[in-house]
């Protein structure tokens, strides 16, 4: 292959892989003009090369043998889009050791094997690019790593799972309960048959690990921080907090630096209606970050899907072709953080929902327990009795330590008058 041409190999011809091929077919002239070279997708590898993908591709380029990409000395860029841990990890490491640059959308693999993958790339003086791993088509990671590199990042707040955001949007806009909103998401193909990875916050957590790496230079394993999903959120929570308090519930990935400590957490969060993140609806993603120089920055766009993700994948390829010798710097130099802040030391305002018997003294008992744990109440609302099933009580606290609130709610839940386990949602203050 001459110096004016670049060969690429694609491993994984699924939804995103198909998008990559479509985008190359559609915009090949534009891409080649930008990089000043001819680009050639030389080989496409997948276990299934018989099923039609609805895209024009030369059958000679199709293979079921991954070594047709990994062992081909003419292929300088490998695009890995099979997902999962294995055999993706083996393929990526082998490609890097063969001196090939790698582009991937595999956030799960990066979150778990970051150090090994980065070390292998650096040892072999090649690049690993992964813009598509967080935020789909949103140009987020390159912005963090380069355009915002002169900033000390102070905080990152991300709506980075479209499935959970779609469900919460439907619950908010249409009054649906969680299960019905989930069913609609599944029918539209936004949610898997087993949706737990998305709705319980694990997908958000994996993406947050990458954002924390690039924003703060810290690799925090998933088992080291709090991860909580949205399956316990009810229409009662959504209606009350929206109409009475002016908040919208979103599943947020949060990473922020407080003095010399780092907070990393994933959980449903009450966001003021006027905040930019409150308007991020449906399957869209939104990331709000703050830097010491640039101030607040909001990025918004499609966080998944064939073509948006393919856009990010080929953006990485273009970057590598244009700058093949570029030194890899992933995130700022490691800051002098004394520790990861424990969740029980988080200071926040809280929304609390309780269900209690409509009997004298219940509110007095609840407020007494909260007071014993240094928690003051900003507001309280008690709804009318409903079908003899108890009375919903909604509270908002002033700022309190999470440890104190959890201890108080444990005692409150033990009261005979309390009919269901209490629910708490943290409040984002602006």
Q: Which of 44-48, 222-226, 387-391 has the lowest mean pLDDT?
A: 387-391
395 and 354 in contact (C-beta within 8 Å)? yes
Give 144's pLDDT tier (boundaries 50, 70, 90).
very high
pLDDT for 304 equals 86
Q: Summarize pLDDT for 14-24 with one digit per residue, the tens.
A: 999 999 999 99
What angle separates helix 362-372 from helix 402-413, to the nearest 10 degrees? Answer: 150
Extract the tokens encoding 299: 């990025």
Residue 347 has pLDDT above 90, yes or no: yes
pLDDT of amino acid 212: 95
How does residue 382 score in pLDDT terms, banded at 50, 70 and 90? confident
Residue 199's pLDDT is 97
How confident is residue 323, by pLDDT bands cut at 50, 70 and 90?
confident
Averaged pLDDT for residues 368-392: 86
Mean pLDDT of the 414-426 span: 95
Mean pLDDT of 314-332: 83
Q: Quick one: pLDDT at residue 429?
A: 80
Residue 257: helix, strand or coil by DSSP?
strand
**CA atoms of 407 and 349, how far apart (whole Å):** 16
Mean pLDDT value of segment 166-184? 96
Phi-psi region of 367 (alpha: psi -120 to 50; beta: other; left: phi over 0): alpha
Helices 306-322 and 15-35, interaxial angle, to 10°?
Answer: 40
Task: Place 185 in a pLDDT band, splitting at 50, 70 and 90.
Answer: very high
At 81 the pLDDT is: 97
Alpha-carbon distance of 421 to 156, in angstroms, equals 31
At the second CATH level, the architecture of 343-427 is 2-Layer Sandwich (3.30)
pTM: 0.93
Domain with CATH 3.40.50.720 in the chain: 5-137
Radius of gyration for the chain, computed over Cα atoms and rounded to the nearest angstrom = 24
Query: Distance between CA atoms of 309 and 111, rounded to whole angstroms?
Result: 18
- Sorting pLDDT into bands at 50, 70 and 90, what band is 358? confident
Please say whether the beta carbons of 288 and 157 come within 8 A.
yes
CATH code of the domain made up of 154-302: 3.30.360.10
Question: Helix (H, G, I), strand (E, B), or coil: what is residue 340?
Answer: strand
pLDDT for res 329? 65
Predicted confidence at residue 337, as pLDDT, reads 59
Instruction: Check if 207 is active-site.
Output: yes
Mean pLDDT across the stretch 395-415?
96
Q: What is the pLDDT of residue 334?
A: 63
Check if the beta carbon of residue 321 is closer than 8 Å to that of residue 28. no
Task: For the chain, give the longest Cα–Cα distance.
Answer: 85
156, 286 Cβ separation under 8 angstroms: no
168-190 burial, b at 16+ Cβ within 10 Å, e below that, comes to bbbbbeeebebeebbebbeeeeb
Q: Is 298 exposed, middle or buried (0-12, 13-18, 19+ CB in 10 A)?
A: middle
Q: pLDDT tier at 250 (50, 70, 90 boundaries)?
A: very high
Q: Is the pLDDT of residue 336 over 70?
A: no
Overall average pLDDT of the 142-159 stretch: 94
pLDDT digits (tens, 9 = 90+) for 212-229: 999 998 999 999 999 999
pLDDT at position 3 over 80: no
Going by pLDDT thresholds of 50, 70 and 90, the confidence category of residue 408 is very high
Residues 6+ apart with CB under 8 A from 24: 31, 39, 41, 314
Torsion sign, CA atoms 206, 212, 218, 224: negative
- pLDDT, one tens digit per residue, over 102-130 is 999 999 999 999 999 999 999 999 999 99
> For a pLDDT cut of 90, what percent of the chain falls above it?
86
> According to CATH, what is the number of the domain 5-137?
3.40.50.720
Q: What is the mean pLDDT of residues 168-174?
A: 96
pLDDT of residue 387: 59
Domain with CATH 3.30.70.260 in the chain: 343-427
Mean pLDDT over residues 133-148, rounded?
Answer: 92
State the span(s) of the chain assigned CATH 3.30.360.10: 154-302
- Confidence grade of residue 406 (pLDDT, cut at 50, 70, 90): very high
Residue 33 burial (CB count, 10 A): 10
Q: Of the listed 207, 250, 257, 355, which one is catalytic?
A: 207
What are the Cα distances from residue 188, in Å, to 175, 235, 264, 409?
18, 21, 32, 38
């Amino acid at each position: 292959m001459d110096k004016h041409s670049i060969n690429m190999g694609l491993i994984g011809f699924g939804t995103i892989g198909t998008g990559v091929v479509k985008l190359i077919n559609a915009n090949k002239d534009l891409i080649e003009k930008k990089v000043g070279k001819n680009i050639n997708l030389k080989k496409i590898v997948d276990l299934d090369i018989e099923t039609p993908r609805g895209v024009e591709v030369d059958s000679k380029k199709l293979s079921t043998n991954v070594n047709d990409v990994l062992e081909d000395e003419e292929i300088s860029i490998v695009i890995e889009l099979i997902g999962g841990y294995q055999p993706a990890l083996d393929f990526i490491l082998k490609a890097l050791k063969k001196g090939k640059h790698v582009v991937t959308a595999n956030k799960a693999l990066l979150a778990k094997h970051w150090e090994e993958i980065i070390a292998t790339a650096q040892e072999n003086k090649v690049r690993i690019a992964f813009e598509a791993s967080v935020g789909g088509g949103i140009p987020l990671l390159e912005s963090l790593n380069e355009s915002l590199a002169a900033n000390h990042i102070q905080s990152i707040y991300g709506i980075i799972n479209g499935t959970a955001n779609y469900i919460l949007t439907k619950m908010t806009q249409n009054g649906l309960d969680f299960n019905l909103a989930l069913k609609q998401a599944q029918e539209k193909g936004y949610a898997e048959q087993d949706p737990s990875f998305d709705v319980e916050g694990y997908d958000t957590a994996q993406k947050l690990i990458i954002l924390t790496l690039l924003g703060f230079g810290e690799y925090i394993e998933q088992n080291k921080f709090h991860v909580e999903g949205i399956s316990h959120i009810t229409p009662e929570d959504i209606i009350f907090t929206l109409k009475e308090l002016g908040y919208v519930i979103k599943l947020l990935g949060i990473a922020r630096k407080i003095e010399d400590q780092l907070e990393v957490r994933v959980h449903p969060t009450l966001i003021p209606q006027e905040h930019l993140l409150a308007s991020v609806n449906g399957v869209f993603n939104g990331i709000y970050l703050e830097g010491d120089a640039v101030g607040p920055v909001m990025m918004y766009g499609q966080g998944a899907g064939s073509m948006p993700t393919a856009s990010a994948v080929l953006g990485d390829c273009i970057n590598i072709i244009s700058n093949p010798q570029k030194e890899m710097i992933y995130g700022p130099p490691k800051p002098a953080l004394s520790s990861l802040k424990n969740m029980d030391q988080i200071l926040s305002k809280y929304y609390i929902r309780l269900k209690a018997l409509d009997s004298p003294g219940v509110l007095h008992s609840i407020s007494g327990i909260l007071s014993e744990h240094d928690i003051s109440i900003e507001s309280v609302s008690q709804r009318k009795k409903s079908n003899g099933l108890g009375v919903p009580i909604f509270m908002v606290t002033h700022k309190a330590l999470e440890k104190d609130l959890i201890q108080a709610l444990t005692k409150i839940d033990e009261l005979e008058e309390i009919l269901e386990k209490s629910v708490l949602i943290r409040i984002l203050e602006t």
